[in-house]
Amino acid sequence: MTTAIGLVVAIPAVMMFNYLTGRVEAFDVEMDNSSSELIDYFLKRRGQCAARPGCKRVEPGSCELLVRRRTLVRRRILATAKARV
């Protein structure tokens, strides 16, 4: 009897856990995509500012470093998502 009650409680709990974990991972990917778009926007804006007189110059290589970092973050997220599936 206690085994049956335990299964009645455990099975829906595991199902909800898997569902909510998937939702959190999807939200994490969406946040990453939004942050990438925001970084792209600021990089473009910063590049336009650097072309104007009187604006601070963009450090050489800063755009490439941000693109590399963003690529590494995406790869880490994909690897984490694949490992959990």
Domain boundaries, the chain: 2-84
Residues in CB range of 39: below 8 A, 6 or more apart: 66, 70
Between residues 80 and 17, the one the model is more confident about = 17
Model confidence pTM above 0.75: no
pLDDT at 11 over 80: yes
In this prediction, residue 14 has a pLDDT band, given cuts at 50, 70 and 90, of very high
In this prediction, residue 66 has a pLDDT band, given cuts at 50, 70 and 90, of low
CA-CA distance, 54 to 49, in Å (whole number)? 9
